[in-house]
Amino acid sequence: MKLWQKTTTATHAVNNFTIGNDRQFDLQLAPYDVMGSLAHVKMLGHVNLLSAEETGALVKALQELYLLTKESDFALHPDCEDIHSHIEWMLTQQLGDTGKKIHTARSRNDQVLVDLKLFFREEIRKTVEALVNLFSCLQRQSEKYKEDLLPGYTHLQLAMPSSFGLWLGAYAESLCDDMIGLEAAFQVVNKNPLGSAAGYGSSFPIDRSVTTRLLGFDDLHYNVVYAQMSRGKTERLVAQALAGIAETLSRFSMDACLYMSQQFGFISFPDELTTGSSIMPHKKNPDVFEMVRGYCNRIKALPTEITLLTSNLPSGYHRELQLLKEHLFPAFTTLRDCMQMLAVMIDAMQVKKEIINDERYQLLFSVEAVNKLVQEGVPFRDAYKQVGLSIEEGRYQWKEPLQHTHEGSIGQLCNEKIAANLRTIVDRFPFSKIDAALRSLLTS
């Protein structure tokens, strides 16, 4: 059954080509399509476009159908083009003509828009939870190894002393900024497009504020043309947020691959978390980090893919917009899997102690030597030349302890302040309000 079908029949080839993988992704949207339909039905009853009896029958049937969509064997009827037609077909089978009334004052265009908004909202919530878990893991290890020094590099050349605490804590704070990106995307996601119909509104006296409240949205897309135009833009903003997290994960993974290598030898992992070689018995390969790096680099390409797919589209709906699902939907799960695996690896990480006692790392302290002279009254540029000359002549040595005390340095990681910042960002997500709204929608 096709909601748009009249008297002509599209050829099998056209159907297959235009539908593509949509039915597969629609299974993921099924619970959200029911939620959107529930809110729409209650609104239709509110404005008297459905009788109280019709509204009650549809609400009860949809609440039962919601439970069915959560079962593992839920599937679309072979004759149904998408989840929208499947749900309408099921309601019609159960309620007759009353079931056919569910599409009053809406289009598949705003129907899929609200499905996507609800889907993205939940996927972002799961991503927030995974990010918080990885953040906590990084901070735990940062505190555990805050006294263990590590060579710092610029241009992959020895630069200045760092520490494992500083290194791990840096990636924790990076996730804070990534969370801000996720929050920004969420603010766009958490707007209601329902009621925009095909993108030009409806002559029915609908009340869009009702569906906004019932679905727990913070606000609605007021302009109905823009509501439709938000498709593509919403996906791009979400993809950019995911790409920001992916950048942090891939960069950490590259560090880990370097630091595991024999040339560095800064960190190691239990044998069961590494892989070997078919012919080289000594190998302990960083496959987890390499796969995270690869997956995340692919996710970083998503915003560009979406931008190109939506480039130069005029206002209104266009069929290629459905292609946005194909790489974006799986990206959520992939990114969360990467965060989960990194947490496992970081928890099991073992660090090499007293690395910088090795003579080859003496040059790390050249800036310390310069700074000491400056504190003794030598002008900075003269101190710089003195230390540089001592290095050239082979006279340079440094054996004194480090004294870093400013905020964010080796001696003052400020992990508790960074954790407080993350909590502040997470608390701005209105998850409790959404939960309460959806609970009421699905049970009353």
Q: Cα–Cα distance between 219 and 411 in angstroms, integer?
A: 45
- Name which of 204, 233, 244, 24 is nearest 117 in CA terms: 233
Query: pLDDT by residue (tens digit) across 238-277?
Result: 999 999 999 999 999 999 999 999 999 999 999 888 887 7
Which CATH homologous superfamily contains domain 108-147+158-357+414-443?
Answer: Fumarase/aspartase (Central domain) (1.20.200.10)
In this predicted structure, what is the pLDDT of residue 317?
Answer: 86
Q: Cα–Cα distance between 242 and 234 in angstroms, integer?
A: 12
Q: What is the mean pLDDT of residues 333-339?
A: 98
Coil, helix or strand at residue 165:
helix
Checking if the pLDDT of 141 tops 80, the result is yes
Query: pLDDT by residue (tens digit) across 85-95?
Result: 899 999 999 99
Q: Where are the domains of the chain?
A: 12-103, 108-147+158-357+414-443, 358-405
In this predicted structure, what is the pLDDT of residue 356?
Answer: 92
- Name which of 257, 248, 234 is nearest 300 in CA terms: 248
Checking if the pLDDT of 25 tops 80, the result is no
Whole-structure pTM value? 0.92
Checking if the pLDDT of 401 tops 90, the result is no
Checking if the pLDDT of 26 tops 90, the result is no
**The residue type at 44:** L
Checking if the pLDDT of 5 tops 70, the result is no
Query: pLDDT by residue (tens digit) across 273-283?
Result: 888 777 887 87
In this predicted structure, what is the pLDDT of residue 115?
Answer: 96
More confident residue, 8 or 350: 350
In this predicted structure, what is the pLDDT of residue 19?
Answer: 66
Which uninterrupted H or E stretch holds 159? Answer: strand 157-163
Coil, helix or strand at residue 289:
helix
In this predicted structure, what is the pLDDT of residue 23?
Answer: 67
Q: What is the mean pLDDT of residues 22-38?
A: 89
**How confident is residue 4, by pLDDT bands cut at 50, 70 and 90?**
very low
More confident residue, 270 or 171: 171
Q: Cα–Cα distance between 15 and 20 in angstroms, integer?
A: 8
Give the distance, in angstroms, between the CA of residue 54 and the centroid of all CA atoms in the same chain. 40
247, 273, 274 from 295: Cα distances, Å: 11, 18, 18
The set of residues, in sequence order, having a beta carbon less than 8 Å from that of 327 and lying 6+ positions away, is 302, 305
**The residue type at 444:** S
Q: 376-391: buried (b, 16+ CB within 10 Å) or exposed (e) per residue? A: eebeeeebbeebeeee
Share of the chain above pLDDT 70, in %: 96
Q: What is the CATH number of domain 12-103?
A: 1.10.275.10
In this predicted structure, what is the pLDDT of residue 7?
Answer: 54
CB atoms within 10 A of CB 443: 7
Q: What is the mean pLDDT of residues 379-395?
A: 95
Match 């005029």 to its residue by tokens: 314
In this predicted structure, what is the pLDDT of residue 192?
Answer: 97
Mean pLDDT of the chain: 93
**The residue type at 106:** R
In this predicted structure, what is the pLDDT of residue 8?
Answer: 60
